[in-house]
Structures are given as C-alpha cells and as structure tokens.
Amino acid sequence: MRIIIASPEAVPYVKTGGLADVAGALLREFRARGERASLVLPLYRAVREGFRLHPTGKSFTLQMGIRRVSAGIWSTDKTSCPAAYFISCDELYDRPELYGTARGDYTDNALRFAFFSRAVLETCLALNIRPDVIHCNDWQTGLVPLFLKDLYRKKTGLAGTASVLTIHNLGYQGLFPKTDIRDTGLGWEHFTIDKMEFHDMLNYLKAGLNYADVLNTVSETYAREILRPENGFGLDDLLRQRKKDLYGIINGIDYDEYDPGRDRLLPAQYDQDDLEGRKACRQMLLKEAGLGNDGSPVIGIVGRLAAQKGFDLIADGLPELLAKGFQVVLLGKGEAYYQDLLSGLSEQYPGRVSVRIGFEERFARLIYAGADFFLMPSKYEPCGLGQLIALRYGAIPVARRTGGLTDTITDDDHAPGLGTGFLFSDYSVRAMAGAAGRGLRAFADHERFRGLMQRAMTADFSWDAATDRYALLYAKARTKVSR
C-alpha cells in the first residue's frame, strides 16, 4: 500500500505527547513490512534546526479566505518514498512551540491547521503520490477527510484514496470561533451540524468524524466509553451514529527502545529473569530524588500535569499514601496550577516526596526502572503509554479502571497469579489509596511481588499486533471508497 500518515507531530522529529510516539511507530512498522509509507508534518522550527532535510523543488499556493499562503515541500531524503515530508511555511510554523506558549494557544491555529490539512493533499498532487489511504491523527488533521471528499477526490485523481481518522484524545477537538471559517477556504455551507458546526463554533475534529471513511481510537474500552455522554465531550451522539465505523486499537510501545536489558540511560541493566540490576536503579533513583533509603516502597509518577491525569487525587491523597509508608517521586510539566501545588507538597514533605518540574528522558527511565509502583489515577485515559513503559520496566501500575488502563492492566487481586497491577474504579482518594494499599500487601510478600514484576515485564504490548489491526482498518476504508 501507499500510505500517508498525516500528523501534527511524530518521533523522532518533534514530540509533545503520545500522539508523536504512535505516528512514528506506525511509520517504522509499516516501512519494515515493505509498505510505501510516509509521514507528512509541518516544518516547525525545532525540526528545521534539528534535522538535515532536502528540498523537493515543489511548492504550492492556496487561497485561504482572503489570504494567499504559499509553502514548499521538504523531505528526509531524495528517494521516491522518503520517511517524511515537511510543509515549509515560516509564517505559520517557524515558531518556538507547536501549538502555543505558556500564555495560551496561538491565535491563528485555525488557519495553521486548516492550511496543513489542505497541504497534505497538495503534497500528494505536487509529488504525484496517489495514496491508498491517508491516516489522519487528531483535530489538527480533522479537515483532511472533508477537503478530500468535498474539494479533491473528484477533481484531482484522488478518487481512490481512503481516509482513516484516529482519535487520540476526544477532549481536544480544535474548537474555534465560527468567523474563523474564512481562514479555511471553505464557504458557510460547511458550517452545518452534519459537517463542522458545534454549538455555534467550528469543530475540526467533528469534521473528521463526519467525513472520514473509518474511525478509530487507541483502546477498545475507550472506543466504548466515548459513546456515552459522560465521556463523549458533546460528540457521543455523532459517534453512536458512526458506531459501525468506529474501532479500538490499543497502542504499542517500541520494545527495542524501551528495553531494561539494553537501556544505557540506566545505571544497570536487568531483565525478568535477573532483576539484580533493578536494585542499582532503585538506589540511584532514591539518591537523585533525595528520598530516604529505608526500604519503603516507592511510587513513581511520570506525565503531563493536567486535570485529566488525576493530579487532584494525587495531591489530596498524598498524606494518606505517606501514612501507609510510601515515598513518592514525580516528574512532569503542564498546567501551572498543578506545577505550583505539587512543588509545594514536595517542600512540605522533604525526604518523602520528590517533585521535578520539566521532562528529562534519563530521569523518566530511572523512575520506571527504580520505582516499585507507578501511579495513574486518570479521570479518563484513551490508552496511556506510561503504564506500558512501567510494565516493561517492572514498576507495578496502580491505576484507575478506565480506557486503555483497563485493557492493559490485570488486577492481581481479581486474577491471583495472573495479575500485572492493581486497579480501582471510583474517582476518589479512598479508592486510589485502597488500591495502593492492596499493592502494599503484595510488596510485603517477596515471592508474590517478584512474580508480579516478572509478569509485568513479559506482558506483550509491542507494535506488531497493533500494526496488523491498522492494516485491516486501511483495507476496510479502501473497500468503502471502491464501492
């Protein structure tokens, strides 16, 4: 197949979250299988400064309302199917961040990603690419299926191109004032409830949900959850209408990248058969985090500091966790409220709680490799990557039973001898602390806890199975187009 993966970010080029990991991993897996797959990304400043790229010599100009916007096309190499193409438009993408700064989102994001969505299709035309499928990711590419069907499919030779849209997080939809429709190059006939109107605003993700041939999200449980009003963020009715086209595919992780047996970011390597090196990782973590080395169980937390991730529960429940005998080490950045709140708690409990604001890959790996438990009390979690990495490194997840956490963690109390972690259902401090307490009882039983760690480390969430399922989705989408 000729596959175009349209994404606002992808590793190794640029990353703010798990979307980048998924896009980059799918590209790598499909190319390893011999498929003709390429990414299309905006040429951000960070990419321009960090990678050597090649001009294709192709460019285009689009009328976006009253503005004419021009762009060039760059690529990773000069082959007929490079790993990635980049849309070069300095006025839109040559900025210090991808979507906004600490002061808020860029005010012209409606234009930036409407243009990018059209640029994906213009790149195909300029380079004479006829994709079998365009795989769109999140709201930033939500207009691609609309443009494909309404503006490009019949006129440009893209009649056989199907579209798949992956929802990585339904909470982010690309909402803009309706007057921003002028920046899309679309007319008011597209501002309707069956296209992109949403409570008198533009909704880029809704456009994709209406127009894409096939939809999916990143776990089977989350695919069911978003059909309900409490998890549908106002789009549950539309998703129920498209239920037959909606699939759940659990994310994977790169087991070559995340391998404690070969990870040179760690002070010592280890595997499920020989856990001795994990002791050195634990010692180093305690030293760098400034925590006491008294044998107390350590809870690790790595993630984006946002309400979705349950940091209000963590803050409110910290005294109870400490009373049970845990120490806590946290690494993350995000909303200023949580950064300040958690930093204050670190000062309140010196030697028991360590909070490091920011992100450093080496220290993140040290937490995965050195903590005894990994806490994820998310309000909702489409898939989650943190628990998959924690499992791989032997940090036992304590997580809320939601979304992908449900699909990837087996509660050891509910399935004795088969479990890989501990789950709780209610969104409450009591439920979270109760699950942590069950983990503590397992920790006190050396043989039981060792078995938990070994099962966690051998759980298989590699990309092989996920890639197979995406290939089937592409085939379903192509079938719909060919009818």
DSSP for 76-103 reads SSSSSS-SEEEEE-HHHH-SSSSSEETT
What are 85's strand-pairing partners? 40, 75
**CA separation for the pair 115, 186 (Å, rounded):** 11
Residue of 307, 301, 354, 316 lying closest to 335 (CA atoms): 307
Distance linking the first and last C-alpha atoms of the chain: 18
Alpha helices in 148-228 (DSSP H): 204-211, 220-225
Residue of 212, 433, 234, 414 whose CA lies nearest to 322? 433
Mark out the alpha helices in 140-217 (DSSP H runs).
Answer: 143-147, 204-211
Q: What pLDDT does 16 receive?
A: 86
User: What is the SS3 assignment for 283?
Assistant: helix
Backbone φ/ψ region at 331: left (φ over 0), alpha (ψ -120 to 50), beta: beta
For 224-253, the DSSP string reads HHTTSTTTSTT-HHHHHHTGGGEEE-----
For position 103, what pLDDT does the model report? 78
- Locate 392 and state its tokens: 């791989």
Closest C-alpha among 48, 36, 108 to residue 76 = 48
Its pTM stands at 0.92
Please list the ranges in the chain whose pLDDT falls under 70: 155, 483
Whole-number Å distance between alpha carbons of 392 and 258: 7
In the chain, which residues fall in CATH 3.40.50.2000?
A: 2-252+464-482, 276-461
> Is the bond preceding 382 in cis, omega lying within 30 degrees of 0?
no
The matching CATH number, chosen from 3.50.90.10, 1.10.3720.10, 3.40.50.2000, 2.40.50.140, for 276-461 is 3.40.50.2000
**Does an H or E element contain 45, and which?**
helix 45-50
What is the model's pLDDT at position 123?
97
Closest by CA to 439, choosing from 452, 423, 422, is: 422
Other Cβ atoms within 10 Å of 225 Cβ, number: 22
Burial class of 34 by CB neighbour count within 10 A (0 to 12, 13 to 18, 19+): exposed
Q: Where are the beta strands (DSSP E) in 278-425?
A: 298-305, 327-334, 353-357, 373-376, 396-400, 422-424
* CA–CA separation, 38 and 76 (whole Å): 10
Where does 2-252+464-482 sit in CATH, by number?
3.40.50.2000
- Could you give the angle at which helices 204-211 and 109-126 cross, rounded to 10 degrees? 40
Task: Using alpha carbons, select from 8, 167, 181, 25 the residue that is nearest to residue 95.
Answer: 8
Q: How far apart, in Å, are the Cα atoms of 320 and each of 121, 432, 436?
A: 54, 10, 10
How many Cβ atoms sit within 10 Å of the Cβ of residue 145?
26
Q: According to the model, what pLDDT value does residue 483 have? A: 66
How far from chain centre, in Å, is Cα 317? 26
Helix (H) / strand (E) element for 74: namely strand 67-75
How many residues comprise the chain? Answer: 483
